[in-house]
């Protein structure tokens, strides 16, 4: 169906609550009910909801924040998750059948778009080589674009992450000073802190895996099709690896963000 035409199915779904509407409308999209992506592969504005990436913090720690009095995400916490998603989504073509499901964190996305296991560094290379098999210039250009996009996303994400983690520390320190604090309020605050830390940690793990995948692809591309463009890729890769090292220390405990 033409993406410019409005679908009655999706219009009806938009009247539902956001938590219910997203995954179900995504399912309708898969059946051809309405177009999934807008310009440049982004989710159509009519399908976007404020909390569509709230699951990013919950998934890594298996948290189910179903407490009745749970506070909504703050503006920065919501922005943190929105900026995290492009850094944990696999750097492949987003025009796939599960792209909208990935945005909403629906079940199929966890199986296809956001695998929980460690990234196999050969997967990126195989997809890159298969898609641009006829042109090594396109393969080099795509590799540069993917690495450069990650470089550009790192600083905005960690600027927000720094604010969120700083406020989380202050929130935890304030718990002992709140009069009449209920167990539910205390648990919600600590759960939220854990979710925020988990979201940042997930991004760091993803960035480390992505740099490994890009490096693997570059090494094999140079062997398969030597080109002067390899110098530009190497320069971008070095910058990305430096930024990741500067920003991420992944340890057993909470994530630590430098600078």
Number of structural domains (the chain) is 1
* Residue 123 to residue 128: CA distance in whole angstroms: 9
* Residue range 84-99: mean pLDDT, rounded: 71
Q: Is residue 93 part of a domain?
A: yes
Q: Is residue 119 part of a domain?
A: yes
Q: Is residue 175 part of a domain?
A: yes
Lowest-confidence pick of 49-53, 223-227, 244-248, 255-259: 255-259
Q: Is residue 137 part of a domain?
A: yes
The pLDDT value given to residue 119: 61
The pLDDT value given to residue 66: 47
Q: Is residue 220 part of a domain?
A: yes
Q: Is residue 163 part of a domain?
A: yes
Asked if residue 60 lies in contact with residue 202, where contact means CB atoms within 8 angstroms, the answer is yes
For residue 37, list its beta bridge partners.
Answer: 43
Domain containing residue 145 = 50-247
Q: Is residue 26 part of a domain?
A: no
Asked if residue 85 lies in contact with residue 54, where contact means CB atoms within 8 angstroms, the answer is no
* Residue 237 to residue 151: CA distance in whole angstroms: 9
Q: Is residue 184 part of a domain?
A: yes
Q: For residue range 131-155, what is the model confidence (pLDDT) as tens digits?
A: 888 899 999 999 999 999 999 999 9
Asked if residue 229 lies in contact with residue 258, where contact means CB atoms within 8 angstroms, the answer is no
Altogether, the residues listed in the chain come to a count of 259
Asked if residue 247 lies in contact with residue 204, where contact means CB atoms within 8 angstroms, the answer is yes
* Residue 78 to residue 51: CA distance in whole angstroms: 7
- In this prediction the pTM is 0.73
């Amino acid at each position: 169906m033409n993406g410019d035409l409005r679908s009655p199915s999706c219009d009806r779904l938009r009247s539902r609550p956001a938590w219910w509407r997203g995954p179900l409308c995504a399912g309708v999209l898969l059946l051809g009910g309405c177009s999934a992506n807008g310009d440049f592969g982004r989710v159509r504005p009519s399908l976007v909801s404020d909390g569509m990436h709230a699951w990013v913090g919950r998934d890594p720690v298996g948290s189910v924040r179903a407490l009745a009095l749970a506070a909504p995400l703050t503006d920065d916490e919501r922005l943190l998750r929105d900026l995290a998603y492009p850094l944990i989504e696999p750097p492949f073509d987003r025009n796939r059948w599960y792209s909208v499901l990935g945005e909403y964190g629906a079940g199929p996305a966890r199986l296809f778009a956001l695998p929980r296991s460690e990234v196999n560094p050969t997967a990126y290379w195989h997809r890159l080589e298969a898609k641009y098999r006829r042109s090594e210039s396109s393969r080099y250009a795509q590799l540069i674009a993917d690495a450069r996009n990650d470089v550009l996303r790192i600083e905005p994400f960690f600027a927000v992450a720094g604010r969120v983690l700083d406020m989380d520390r202050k929130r935890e320190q304030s718990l002992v000073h709140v009069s009449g604090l209920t167990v539910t309020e205390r648990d919600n605050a600590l759960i939220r802190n854990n979710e925020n830390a988990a979201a940042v940690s997930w991004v760091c793990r993803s960035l480390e895996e992505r740099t490994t995948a890009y490096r693997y692809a570059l090494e094999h591309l140079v062997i398969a099709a030597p080109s002067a463009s390899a110098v530009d890729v190497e320069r971008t890769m070095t910058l990305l690896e430096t930024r990741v090292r500067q920003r991420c220390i992944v340890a057993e405990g909470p994530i630590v963000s430098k600078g």
